[in-house]
Amino acid sequence: MLESYLPIFFMIAGGIAFGVVMLKLNEFFGPRRPTEEKFSTYESGMEPVRTARERFSVKFYMVAVLFILFDIEVVFLYPWAVSFRELGYQGFVTMFVFIVILLIGLYYVWRKGALEWD
């Protein structure tokens, strides 16, 4: 079992090695002429104003929360879909109830306007 995951580890190692080699080649061939201007933050040619790490809108947080909740639903759906044929009618009803309860949640979110991006 672990063997079938082995190629993945080698693939990741190979990918990292490839990236490192390319970056080293770049370091070798590329010039190195640092100036203060060059290493300042790019802000369309203006002097950088404050830091970029400002506070962010709560909208992003909303999207992330909804994503987690539906992601967990998806995690439950996958084992169901794989053994769906064997579970038959009963399995279908089970999942129907589960999804309907979550669709009530989606409807609530929709009505509350949390899906609007304004």
Partner 1 sequence: MYELLHDLLGDSLLVYVIGAALPLLFVLPFAVVAVLLEMKVSAHMQDRVAYMYTGWHGVLQPVADILKLLQKEDTVPAAADKFLFRLAPFLVFMGGYAGFAALPFSSAYIGSNIDLGVFYILAVSSLAVIGLMMSGWASNNKWSLFGAMRSVAQIISYEIPSALSILVAVMIVGSLNLQEVSKFQEGGIQNWIVFGGPMPLLQKLLLLPFTITAFFILFLAGIAEVNRTPFDLPEAESELVQGYNTEYSGMKFAIFYLAEFANMFLVSGIVVSLYLGGWTSPFGDVMSGPIWSFFWFVAKGMFFVFLQVWIRWTLPRLRVDQLMYTSWKVLTPFLFVCIFAVGLILVL
Partner 2 sequence: MILESIVFYSLAVASVGSALLMVTRRNPVIAALYLILNFFCLAGLYLTLQAQFIAVIHILVYAGAIMVLFLFVIMLLNLGDERKLSDAISPRKIIAGGLSLALLLELLSIFVTGTEGLPEYNADQALQVGTVEYIGKQLFTKFLFPFEVTSILLLAAIIGAILLAKKKPD
- Site of interaction with partner 1 (CB under 8 A): 3-12, 14-16, 18-19, 22-23, 25-27, 29-33, 36, 38-44, 48, 51-54, 56, 59-60, 63-64, 66-67, 70-71, 74, 77-78, 81-85, 88-89, 92, 95-96, 99, 103, 106, 110, 115-118
- Dist CA 21 CA 95 (whole Å): 49
Q: How many residues bind partner 2 (CB under 8 A)?
A: 46
User: If we measure between CA atoms, which residue out of 74, 59, 45 comes closest to residue 115?
Assistant: 59
- Dist CA 68 CA 64 (whole Å): 6
User: If we measure between CA atoms, which residue out of 98, 105, 100 comes closest to residue 66?
Assistant: 105
Distance from the first to the final alpha carbon of the chain: 49
CB of 28 to partner 1, least distance (A): 9
- List contacts with partner 2 (CB under 8 A): 1-2, 5, 53-58, 60-62, 64-69, 71-73, 75-76, 78-80, 82-83, 86-87, 90-91, 94-95, 97-98, 101-102, 104-106, 108-109, 112-114
